[in-house]
């Protein structure tokens, strides 16, 4: 239950505006595919590896299809046609194309039904693998997940995956619950995914499938050693957003940074490219049971955290709506925000706490990700350590889920192991010492915190309604988010946006959405959450049983009939309609 009194009619208006904003870009999302989406389809069909020049096979094949002008049919259609005519698997066809033994433009179009029958087993095999990795995670969570929120989130960023492993294990042994491996600077601008393990990177380590596998294995080892599950995070953004999502799904990553607008605002990636890519990438994350993290905290690095707090909330509403349309559950949508106000302002902590409580009240089911102070870290490690402590206190009081702990040497150098140890010690001390403090606190009705939270909500609602009126692309071009202006026709990657043709074929959205749309789909993400759900279900069953055994005079047997009808729908495989779902858009 919320401790801060908000005008919930404004929340409903904000969500209604966010739906209108999403509706405005939906036609373009449905009408387009991209080079990275088609490369992702190939990866999901089991096509991986590099050619003799070190170019990833998905890039080789998609570039050939785009040059031939046939990518709008969907690469799955042409791979399937080759499978039908050549009697070979998708991987065998891919290797022949890479060697030059087979040219896509020379493949005779096969019957659509035959293509689908050829592709179906390959697609089903990968979906079964991803689902198996999801269930594997759920078993480990049930066995080992002993942590309580806020979960302590730590970053490693050496450039060498093997050194990252050393630092990640050390952080876990110090008390970290979540390890994020920062990507090498500007990898988001590469229109391909590097191949194999990497030992050189600037400001971070390349996101590759091999690196994911190495770190996942290392964290599983330390999880068993410590008796608690350590989660792995990477970055699913940029020009290869859905490809990295697919790799993470295959290697059982637990979280992905996956924002709908970050690449546009902070990497100058084309709007159309980003909006189309985010849909398929989030669909993959949803199916894999991955928790996404959005990047609203970055807004406050370019804009004032007090004056522009409403832009963070507005973006959270938009990210939430776009994520829901991709099949993500609210429990998988880790909306981001940050503790970034000027530490010298009077009552700064009050305003930070108001913002954190407001976010928790508006998004009660979301695993909110709370980011530490960085903008005003000056190199004074003593003041910085105190600022991080205040941030940790706000996090535990307001019930944040994911707490990226701040490090006292921020803005001086890449943290040493001992710096990270002190940061984790700071967080553990406060989160334990103030564990249930939030339960004892109520905020004064009509007080400054309530006023501030409603002021931010009012501004965010007005902003969303304005964006809904002019369109999201126009709003971004005017600099309404983070004070950054982008041209809808500019940015990187527009040449990779392809209009779908009639009959476009991608087998995976339909497969994913069939399960994601089912009420039975409920991935286990946190043990605490699973226990709470089990308790709630038990209470519901008890209440239902009591109603059935002793119906009131006006109840008759309606509850029993409703449950029976629901059971018939489940048995028949009928699925409820999901607004904005991809099942009918063929992508």
Which residues constitute the domain of residue 289? 8-22+137-455
pLDDT exceeds 70 at position 295: yes
Q: Mean pLDDT throughout 302-307?
A: 92
Going by pLDDT thresholds of 50, 70 and 90, the confidence category of residue 301 is: confident
522 located within any domain: no
Q: Average model confidence (pLDDT) for the chain?
A: 90
3-state SS class at 32: strand
pLDDT exceeds 80 at position 560: no
101 in active site: no
Which pair of tokens denotes residue 112? Answer: 């659509």
166 located within any domain: yes
What CATH number is associated with residue 193? 3.20.20.440
Instruction: Give the tens place of pLDDT for each residue, 341-368.
Output: 999 999 999 999 999 999 999 999 999 9
Q: Mean pLDDT throughout 233-257?
A: 97
245 located within any domain: yes
Rounded CA-CA distance 454/355 in Å is 10
- pLDDT at res. 563: 32
- What is the domain count for the chain? 1
Rounded CA-CA distance 246/40 in Å is 7
297 in active site: yes
Q: Mean pLDDT throughout 74-90?
A: 97
DSSP 8-state class, residue 347: T
- pLDDT at res. 100: 92
Using alpha carbons, list the distances in angstroms from residue 465 to 149, 334, 468.
Answer: 34, 23, 5
Residue 117 CB contacts under 8 Å (≥ 6 apart), including other chains: none
Instruction: Give the tens place of pLDDT for each residue, 19-32.
Output: 999 999 999 999 99
Describe the strand order of the beta sheet including 178-181 as a list of residue ranges: 333-334, 291-293, 255-257, 231-235, 178-181, 151-156, 402-404, 369-371, 336-338
- Per-residue b/e over 195-228, b at no fewer than 16 CB within 10 Å? bebbeebeebbbbbbbbbbbbbebbbebbeeeeb
Q: Is 163 exposed, middle or buried (0-12, 13-18, 19+ CB in 10 A)?
A: middle
Q: Mean pLDDT throughout 155-170?
A: 96
Whether the full predicted model's pTM is greater than 0.85, yes or no, is yes
Distance from first CA to last CA of the chain, Å, rounded? 39
Instruction: Give the tens place of pLDDT for each residue, 407-446.
Output: 999 888 888 889 999 999 999 999 999 999 999 999 999 9
Of the candidates 7, 26, 210, 199, the residue with the CA atom closest to the CA atom of residue 579: 26
**Strand (E) positions, 172-312?**
178-181, 231-235, 255-257, 291-293
84 located within any domain: no
Instruction: Give the tens place of pLDDT for each residue, 185-203.
Output: 999 999 999 999 999 999 8
Rounded CA-CA distance 211/281 in Å is 19
Identify any residues that bridge with 153 across adjacent strands, giving them in sequence order.
Answer: 178, 404
Rounded CA-CA distance 120/46 in Å is 12
- pLDDT at res. 547: 46
Quote the longest CA-to-CA distance of the chain: 78
Instruction: Give the tens place of pLDDT for each residue, 3-14.
Output: 899 999 999 999
3-state SS class at 26: helix
369 located within any domain: yes
182 located within any domain: yes
Choose the weakest-confidence range: 145-149, 155-159, 474-478: 145-149
Q: Which of 169, 287, 369, 524 is catalytic?
A: 369
Using alpha carbons, list the distances in angstroms from residue 219 to 43, 141, 214, 258, 470.
Answer: 25, 13, 9, 22, 47
Residue 230 CB contacts under 8 Å (≥ 6 apart), including other chains: 168, 172, 176, 177, 178, 179, 219, 222, 223
Q: How far is CA 423 from the centre of its chain?
A: 25
Of the candidates 145, 168, 165, 166, the residue with the CA atom closest to the CA atom of residue 155: 168
254 in active site: no
Q: Which of 297, 351, 504, 505 is catalytic?
A: 297
- pLDDT at res. 532: 59
322 located within any domain: yes
- pLDDT at res. 535: 63
Going by pLDDT thresholds of 50, 70 and 90, the confidence category of residue 252 is: very high
pLDDT exceeds 80 at position 454: yes
Q: In terms of DSSP H, where are the helices of 227-345?
A: 241-250, 262-267, 271-287, 299-302, 309-325
Going by pLDDT thresholds of 50, 70 and 90, the confidence category of residue 566 is: very low
537 located within any domain: no
Q: Which of 206, 235, 262, 505 is catalytic?
A: 262
């Amino acid at each position: 239950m919320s401790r801060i009194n908000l005008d919930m009619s404004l929340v409903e208006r904000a969500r209604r505006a966010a739906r209108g904003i999403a509706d405005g870009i939906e036609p373009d999302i449905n009408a387009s595919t991209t080079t990275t989406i088609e490369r992702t389809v190939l990866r999901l069909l089991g096509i991986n590896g590099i050619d003799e020049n070190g170019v990833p096979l998905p890039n080789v094949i998609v570039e050939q299809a785009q040059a031939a002008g046939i990518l709008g049919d969907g690469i799955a259609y042409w791979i399937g046609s080759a499978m039908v005519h050549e009697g070979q698997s998708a991987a065998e066809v891919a290797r022949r194309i890479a060697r030059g033994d087979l040219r896509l433009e020379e493949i005779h179009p096969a019957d659509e039904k035959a293509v689908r029958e050829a592709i179906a087993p390959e697609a089903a095999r990968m979906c079964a693998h991803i689902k198996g990795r999801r269930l594997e995670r759920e078993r480990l969570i049930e066995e080992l997940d002993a942590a309580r929120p806020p979960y302590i989130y730590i970053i490693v960023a050496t450039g060498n995956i093997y050194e990252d492993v050393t630092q990640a294990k050390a952080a876990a042994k110090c008390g970290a619950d979540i390890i994020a491996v920062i990507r090498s600077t500007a990898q988001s601008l590469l229109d391909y995914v590097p191949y194999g393990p990497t030992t050189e990177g600037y400001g971070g380590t390349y996101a590759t499938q091999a690196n994911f596998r190495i770190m996942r294995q290392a964290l599983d080892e330390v999880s068993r050693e410590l008796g608690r599950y350590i989660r792995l995070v990477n970055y699913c953004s940029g020009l290869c957003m859905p490809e990295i999502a697919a790799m993470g799904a295959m290697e059982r990553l637990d979280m992905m940074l996956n924002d709908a607008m970050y690449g546009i605002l902070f990497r100058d990636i084309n709007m159309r490219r980003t909006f189309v890519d985010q849909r398929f990438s989030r669909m993959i994350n949803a199916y894999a049971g991955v928790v996404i993290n959005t990047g609203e905290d970055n807004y406050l690095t370019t804009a004032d955290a007090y004056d522009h707090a409403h832009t963070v909330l507005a973006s959270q509403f938009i990210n939430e709506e776009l994520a829901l349309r991709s099949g993500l559950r609210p429990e998988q949508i880790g909306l981001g925000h940050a503790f970034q106000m000027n530490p010298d302002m009077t009552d700064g902590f009050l305003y930070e706490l108001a913002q954190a409580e407001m976010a928790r009240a508006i998004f009660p089911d979301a695993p909110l990700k709370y980011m530490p102070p960085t903008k005003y870290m000056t190199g004074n490690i003593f003041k910085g350590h105190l600022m991080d402590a205040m941030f940790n206190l706000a996090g535990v009081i307001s019930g944040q889920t994911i707490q990226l702990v701040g490090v006292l040497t921020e803005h001086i150098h890449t943290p040493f192991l001992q710096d990270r140890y002190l940061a984790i010690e700071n967080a553990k001390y406060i989160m334990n010492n103030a564990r249930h403090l939030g339960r004892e606190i109520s905020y004064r009705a009509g007080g400054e915190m309530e006023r501030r939270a409603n002021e931010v909500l009012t501004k965010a609602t007005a902003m969303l309604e304005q964006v809904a009126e002019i369109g999201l692309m126009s709003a971004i071009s005017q600099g309404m988010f983070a004070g950054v202006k982008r041209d809808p026709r500019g940015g990187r990657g527009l040449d990779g946006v392809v209009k779908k043709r009639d009959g476009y074929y991608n087998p995976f959205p339909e497969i994913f959405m069939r399960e994601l749309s089912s009420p039975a789909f409920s991935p286990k993400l946190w043990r605490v959450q699973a226990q709470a759900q089990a308790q709630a279900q038990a209470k519901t069953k008890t209440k239902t049983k009591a109603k059935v055994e002793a119906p009131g005079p006006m109840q008759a047997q309606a509850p029993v009939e409703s449950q029976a009808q629901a059971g018939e729908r489940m048995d028949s495989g009928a699925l409820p309609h999901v607004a904005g779902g991809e099942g009918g858009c063929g992508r």
